Structure 1
Amino acid sequence: MGQYVAPIRDMQFVLHELLKVEDELKALPKHAEIDADIINQVLEEGGKFTAEVLFPLNHSGDREGCKHDAATSTVTTPKGFKEAYKQYVDGGWAALACDPEYGGQGLPVVMNNSFYEMLNSANQAWTMYPGLSHGAYECLKEHGTEHQKKVYLPKLVSGEWTGTMCLTEPHCGTDLGMLRSKALPQDDGSWLITGNKIFISAGEHDMAENILHLVLARVPDAPEGSKGISLFLVPKYLPKEDGSVGERNPITCGAIEEKMGIHGNSTCQMNLDGARGWIIGQPNKGLQAMFVFMNAARLGVGMQSLGLTEVAYQNALIYAKDRIQMRSLTGPKNPDMPADPIIVHPDVRRMLLTGKAYAEGARAFTSYVALQIDRELNHPDEEVRKEAADEVALLTPIIKAFITDNAWIATSEAMQVFGGHGYIAEWGMEQYVRDARINLIYEGTNTVQSLDLLGRKILGDNGAKLRKFGEKIKSYVEENGLDEKMSEFITPLGELGDKVTKLTMEIGMKAFQNADEVGAAAVPYLRVVGHLVYSYFFARMAQIALEKEDSSDTFYKAKLATARFYFARLQPETATLIRQARSGSANLMALDADLF
């Protein structure tokens, strides 16, 4: 259904012209040899794999879904998924950004990030299988024992085994402090774990020979709440001494959830009936270890939504150029045809440009954050590593919430371009809307991300992280404030920066008197800060486009037009959002619950 072509030209613009990644990587000894040719080659090969192997399975996988055999507790993925995964593994894609010590290729995160955008555009449901594996790899690499790393990491890196995270239980979602799963110590150092988990993406499937579940549970005499949670590694099959799979572990899929979207991914109810596991990290410190996985997943969800925004936009654009309906308001544009293509109509262009702008803004933003992760992990200067880590912590909830909100908007607009055909399954557009909706919910709902941003990341350190990022924006505004050509971008950027500063101080003062003020303001506040981030990157992209506007490459004219649309049509929603954030908690909390 439809088509997908990896936006390699725009990726190259972001990596080479906006972020100057090659120069940045030279400062990281581990990646100093990575040049533009290597980056471009990976992008081009990744584009071929995703367009030719994964995209053709997206619609069929959605229609077929996964099948659960209750008698054997097994799951069969849609036709072609297993074979595509073998091609993925054989091509070395699973090992792209993993440590060579465990069989990885050792390429930078920023390159892997671009590849994951392509994967998600081509087939989000399929991509969740290897995507979760990468989070398990990061968690084990940081918190696992040497034995766990030796046994499990090479299998995750090669893609032979996949990973999951088992957090949620039927009675608790975000509030993990309420979980009931139990772990009992054994004489051999292992633990026997019992409990029930729900909403476990890729919890059971037929694509890999083993699945490594990272499970949260309580040890005996654990403190109540989140301080009493431990993390365990629970494999589907217990490994033998030689690394091959051994006996079946009693962690099984009881059912597949019936979902609105992502039908090609098995979202499982998992039952642990005395399953053998090994603790990761220290007892009662499981959330600290799991947050490595969760933060990787939150960045991954942002990439899922960027991918969906891009592919929905691409297909809406193709349709708008081909579909003829009515005449242009300013007179026929194709007089030899019975009607004009619908792309002549202003509001169709508004819908298309919304998707285009949100895709390009997200691409710049996520690539920047991926580069900061590379700096955090590999820069020789400790102070640089710390600053990069602080910035990644600040921006992660914005990636998860702002980009997923925007994808819900953009995919809906793309479906609208198709009119009635967009609502019909055979065109494939309604799938993007359905698939996009889950991204606002899982890995911490967008309200949770907003509370994390405002409560923990900003007010929690008296705005220190935000001020540091704000200084970058302020310096950029001061450097370019006298450039008349840039005034249409610099002025609204500078004004929004000032408004964010004032809004943050106002909410912080209110919060001293009433903590509900944070909860009332958090969601619109995050969108305001999200627009500040996008405004910064769109201004920088517009500056490059202005310098090359007169070149024969029309790419820069399109980039400039998109930036102008963003500042004229999308960024102004901040005025409403700021009023909402300032309106306080009284209008939300005054009505007694019984009166709703």
Structure 2
Amino acid sequence: MPTYKAPTGDTRFIVNEVLDIESYGNLPGFENATRDMIDAIIEEGGRFASEVFAPLNQVGDQEGCTRNADGSVTTPTGFKEAYAKYREGGWGTLSAPAEFGGQGLPHVLGFVMEEYLATANHALAMYPGLANGAVSAILAKGSPEQHAKYLPKMISGEWLGTMNLTEPHCGTDLGLIRTKAEPQADGSYAISGTKIFISAGENDLVDNIIHLVLAKTPGAPESSKGISLFIVPKVLVNDDGSLGERNAVSCGSIEHKMGIHGNATCVMNYDGAKGWIVGEECKGLAAMFIMMNAARLGVGIQGLGQAEVAYQNAVTYAQERRQGRALTGPAEPDQKADPIFVHPDVRRMLMDAKAFTEGMRALCMWGALQVDLSHKAATEEERQLADDLISLMTPVIKGYGTDMGYATATNMQQIYGGHGYIKEWGMEQFVRDARIAMIYEGANGIQAMDLCGRKLAMNGGRAIQAFFKLVDDECAETGGNETVAAVAERLARANGELKAATMWFMQNAMADRNSLGAGAYAYMTAMGIVSIGLMWLKVAKVAAAKLESGEGNTAFYEAKLVTAKHFALRSMPQAGALRREIEAGGETVMALPVEAFATA
């Protein structure tokens, strides 16, 4: 049976030493984030995820969810009790606003908990995870009355929330939605339509679910400019906050899917359900992006989570499984065979996984810090910079993070050989669960187009230029350490390739938009490599300084330097090949007629 132990030591290192969260103590929300509190949250949060959520991961996969005759949904054995413990522990309140019952701590600590829970039990963690996106949208676009009515119980976890975007005929192109919202005399709207792929759309964990639903009002434009957003509770909420009658919203069916079986992926039917508009009419797209961006960062963390848990189990297996001898001679002559850990190809996969998971963890935590700074930094200039950076990095964290999360889970399955294909070992579940993260909240090709089609040109290229400067400045200061200098040299080279690719887009994409589309995915991948490379350079600098001063765990810091060098030598060079792929343009991609794709 697979196991999971939260990587609390690495998390503390990133939060306390690399990001140095205490240095932001003068900013709102950071003043209470002392070293002692940070360490306590990390340790207790890691223990909770490992001991409460993780043991139910295989249970959820094997049992799945059940839709009952009355349309209700029963979650797998133990899920309801585990969620109750999550709510009682206040784990969902960490970074939520204090005025609505949250603890008001930095988003960094909220992201720490998101990682641990998603790694321990992807399907179960999605129930509160989806509510976070709904809370973000209501907080940003809802009225004071909506804030008071819904946010306290959603933040406390007493109620959950969902995002209802997709319909049977429309996924990414939301301008095609058919769900209607008819205005009523009392100021509400009657919502009618069908939504599909609604994660956590119905469940038995809570008494109420606050659905956020995209719909079109009468006479609204047929395009995405005609979309409005509505709050549609499963159970109507009375003026005094108590629950009233059941709304006309129901789960029509549960999807039978490849993975995340423990999460109810529902077809939701709205039959004149009572809803209330969030923000302005026909301005739902902006509210939707608030939900989507929050969710996309969370999905990037899911990619990290599946890679981490698969990696942990593969390390254990590689130490225990004996096959063959080391290429340099028997490592353990008194045994009939050596552990497969001695084989370079096994080591290659494990080192690649270690370099990705630790680098991605740093990138996610750094991204969370940018979320905080975009709202709370001392100056407008600093807030703008942080907002530019996290807007630019969101599709990269989601797209590259989940691509690599899936690839890493698959490589860790490979280490098990035939046993990796057998259910009891748990590796095939990690692969199946990881696959959805590349698809939902905007498939990764869409993330690439968001990055290249929107984010690069935004505000005259201000964000990408800020990113390039950030990398250049970091590479310019190596402190004299040989390994740090080597990492900086490789990162500067990879960043140069990314700059060249950006310039190629500027010179060619307007004349041939297909060249942008054909190269976007490679660009996103290259930017992911440079972004994680930037994190490894930051990590290497801290590790080198600690070793020079003789502080802390020598073996830990030495391992950081070796892993940083591994990423620099074996991953960063890929940026050059990706640039050449981008510069190939879209000619061969788009040349053949549809008929040429038919089989003989």
Do these two structures clear the TM 0.5 threshold for a shared fold by scoring above it?
yes
Q: Which residue of 1 aligns with 2:587?
A: 586
For residue 67 of structure 2, give the secondary structure of its aligned residue in structure 1. strand
**SS of equivalent to 1:196:** strand
Output the CA distance in 2 between the equivalents of 1:102 and 1:80: 29
Question: What runs of 5+ residues in structure 1 fail to find an aligned partner?
Answer: none
My pick for the range that moved more, 352-361 or 475-484, is: 475-484
Contact 1:481 1:490 in 2 (8 A): no
2:215: which partner in 1? 217
Separation in structure 2 between the aligned mates of residue 244 and residue 345 of structure 1, nearest angstrom: 62
Cα offset, 1:335, TM superposition: 1.4
| Cross-structure match for 2:63 | 64
Counting only pairs closer than 5 Å after superposition, residues 540-551 of structure 1 correspond to structure 2 as 540-549=538-547, 551=550
Partner of 1:97: 95
The separation in 2 between residues aligned to 1:497 and 1:573, in whole angstroms, is 11
Q: How does 1:526-541 map to 2 (within 5 A)?
A: 526-541=524-539
Hey, what does 2:326 align to over in structure 1? Answer: 328
Name 1:139's counterpart in structure 2.
137
Aligned residue identity for 2:322:
I
Q: Is the 8 A contact 2:388 2:462 kept in 1?
A: no
* Corresponding position: 1:13 with 2:13: yes
Among 73, 82, 85, the alignment partner of 1:84 is 82
Q: After the TM superposition, which of the residue ranges 570-579 and 1-10 deviates more from structure 2? A: 570-579
The answer to whether the 8 Å contact 2:478/2:541 transfers is no
**Residues 461 and 100 of structure 1: CA distance in aligned 2, closer, same or farther (over 3 Å):** closer
Report the CA distance shift for 1:485/1:359 in structure 2 as closer, same or farther (over 3 A). closer
For 1:543 and 1:193, how far apart are their aligned partners in 2? 55
| Aligned counterparts of 2:275 and 2:523: Cα–Cα separation in 1 | 42
Cα deviation, residue 3, structure 1: 1.2
Does the 8 Å contact 1:459/1:508 carry over to 2?
A: no
Q: Can you give the 5+ residue segments of structure 2 that lack an aligned partner in the other structure?
A: none
What's the counterpart of residue 3 of structure 2?
3
Aligned-partner residue type, residue 303 of structure 1: I
| 1:368-426 Cα deviation digits (max 9, x unpaired) | 11011111122232222121111110110100001001001100011011111111010
Q: Distance in 1 between matches of 2:449 and 2:375?
A: 27
Find the counterpart in structure 1 of residue 30 from structure 2.
Answer: 31
Shift of 1:483: 5.3
How far apart are the structure 2 equivalents of 1:485 and 1:397? 30
Correspondence for 1:164: 162
Percent identity, aligned pairs only, is: 49
Say whether the 8 Å CA contact 2:233–2:247 is kept in structure 1: yes
Amino acid at match of 1:554: A
Q: Secondary structure at the match of 2:121?
A: helix
Distance 2:73 2:286 in 1: 31
Deviation of 1:137 (Å): 0.9
2-structure distance, mates of 1:507, 1:56? 48
CA contact under 8 A between 2:388 and 2:463: conserved in structure 1? yes
Runs of 4+ in 1 over 6 A off after TM superposition: none
Cα contact 2:481–2:544 (8 A) shared by 1: no
One-letter identity of the residue aligned with 1:259: K
Pair 1:576 & 2:574 matched? no
Partner of 2:190: 192
* Secondary structure in 2 matching 1:534: helix
TM-score in terms of structure 2 length? 0.97
SS at match of 1:192: strand
Distance, in Å, in 2 between the alignment partners of 1:307 and 1:66 is 22
Shift of 1:576: 2.1
Q: Superposed, which structure 2 residues align to 1:478-493 within 5 Å? A: 478-480=476-478, 484-493=482-491
Of 509, 512, 518, the match for 1:511:
509
Q: Is the 8 A contact 2:490 2:573 kept in 1?
A: no
Aligned-residue offset at 1:575:
2.4
Counterpart code for 1:134: N
Q: Distance between the aligned counterparts of 1:107 and 1:477, measured in 2?
A: 31
Does the residue aligned with 2:102 lie in a helix, a strand or coil?
coil
Q: 1:130 aligns with which of 128, 131, 139?
A: 128
* TM-score normalised by L of structure 1: 0.98
Separation in 1 of the partners of 2:88 and 2:305?
Answer: 23
Matched residue, 1:563: 564
Tell me, in whole angstroms, the C-alpha distance in 1 between the residues paired with 2:320 and 2:102: 44
Give the distance between the partners of 2:577 and 2:67, measured in 1 at CA: 47
Partner-residue secondary structure (3-state), 2:190 = strand
Matched residue, 2:202: 204
Spell out the pairing of 1:411-430 with structure 2 (5 A cutoff).
411-430=409-428
* Match of residue 340 from structure 1: 338
Q: Deviations over 1:114-135 (max 9, x none)?
A: 1111001100100000001111
> 1:141-540, aligned counterparts within 5 Å?
141-480=139-478, 484-540=482-538
Shift in Å, 1:485: 4.3
User: What is the Cα deviation at residue 514 of structure 1?
Assistant: 1.1
Cα deviations by residue, 1:182-224 (Å, 9 ceiling, x for unpaired): 0000000000010000000000000011001000000000011
Deviations 1:518-566 (A, max 9, x none): 1011000111111111111111212222233475531112111211211
Partners of 1:29 and 1:393 in 2: CA distance: 22
SS in 1 for 2:510: helix
Cα shift readout 1:320-363 (whole Å, capped 9, x = no counterpart) = 00111111111111112111111000011111112111111111
Q: Confirm or deny: 8 A CA contact 1:202 1:268 kept in the other structure.
A: yes
The answer to whether the 8 Å contact 1:126/1:265 transfers is yes
Q: Match of 1:346, as an amino acid?
A: P
Deviations 1:4-44 (A, max 9, x none): 111111111111111111102x1313322321110000001
**CA distance in 2 between partners of 1:83 and 1:483 (Å):** 51
Q: Tell me, what secondary structure is at the counterpart of 1:548?
A: helix
Instruction: Name the SS of the counterpart of 1:259 in structure 2.
Output: coil
Residue equivalent to 2:48: 49
C-alpha deviation, 1:484, in angstroms = 4.2
Call closer, same or farther: CA 1:432–1:218 in 2, change over 3 Å: same
Instruction: State how many pairs are aligned.
Output: 594
Q: CA RMSD in A?
A: 1.2
**Which piece of structure 1 moves more, 539-548 or 332-341?**
539-548
Displacement, 1:82? 0.3
